[in-house]
Amino acid sequence: MRDFIEVEYRTGRIGFFCNPSGFPVKPEDLVIVDVERGEDIVQVIHLSISTDELQTQYDSGKISRIKRIATEDDIERFNNIHFEEEKAARVFNETLVRYPFHMKLIDTFYQFDGNKLTFFFSSEGRIDFRQFVRELATIFRTRIELHQTTGRDEAKRLGGFGMCGNQYCCGCFLKHFNQVTIKMAKDQNLAGNLSKISGPCGRLLCCLNFEEDFYVEEAKEFPVVGTCVKYKEKKMYVYKNDILNQRVHLTTEDQDLVEIELSAFKKLKPIEISDNPRCE
pLDDT surpasses 70 at 239: yes
Q: What is the pLDDT of residues 34-46, one digit of tens each?
A: 888 789 999 998 8
- Domain of 135, CATH number, reads 3.30.300
The domain in which residue 184 lies consists of 165-214
Give me the pLDDT at residue 153, please. 76
For residue 261, the one-letter residue type is E
Identity of the amino acid at 250: L
> In the structure, what pLDDT confidence band is assigned to residue 1 with cuts at 50, 70 and 90?
very low
Task: Examine the fold and report which residue of 92, 114, 149 is the final residue of a domain before the chain moves on.
Answer: 149
Whether residue 8 sits in one domain with residue 64: yes
Confidence of residue 32 (pLDDT cuts 50, 70, 90): very high
The string of DSSP codes covering 142-209 is SEEEEEE--HHHHHHHH--B-TTSSBPHHHHT-SSPPP--HHHHHHTT--S-GGGGB-TTSSBPGGGG
Residue 63 clears pLDDT 90, i.e. is over it:
no
Q: What's the whole-number mean pLDDT along residues 103-127? A: 91
Give the pLDDT confidence of 157-170 residue by residue, as tens digits: 777 888 888 888 88
Give 206's pLDDT tier (boundaries 50, 70, 90). Answer: confident
pLDDT digits (tens, 9 = 90+) for 242-263: 998 999 999 988 888 999 999 9
Average pLDDT, the chain: 85
The mean pLDDT of 79-95, rounded to a whole number, is 95
The pLDDT, as a whole number, for residue 93 is 95
Residues 44 and 66 both lie in one domain: yes
174 has pLDDT over 80: no
Q: Is residue 156 part of a domain?
A: no
Average pLDDT over residues 57-84: 85
| Residue 280, pLDDT above cutoff 70 | no
| pLDDT reported for residue 200 | 81
Task: Identify the CATH number of the domain in which residue 235 sits.
Answer: 2.30.30
pLDDT single digits (tens) 121-140: 988 888 889 999 999 999 99
pTM for the model stands at 0.67
Residues 64 and 13 in one domain: yes
Give me the pLDDT at residue 60, please.
66
Number of domains present in the structure of the chain: 4
Residue 109: closest CA among 133, 132, 84: 84
Q: Is residue 17 part of a domain?
A: yes
**pLDDT(198) > 90:** no
**Could you tell me if residue 195 is inside a domain?**
yes
In a domain, 104, yes or no: yes
Q: What's the average model confidence in pLDDT over 163-191?
A: 82
> 64-69 and 104-110 as β-strands: parallel, antiparallel, unpaired?
unpaired
CB 44 within 8 A of CB 29: yes
Q: Quick check: 14 and 7 in contact, CB under 8 A?
A: yes
Which residues have C-beta within 8 Å of that of residue 235, sequence separation ≥ 6? Answer: 228, 229, 252, 253, 271, 276, 279
**Residue 143 is assigned to a structural domain of this protein:** yes
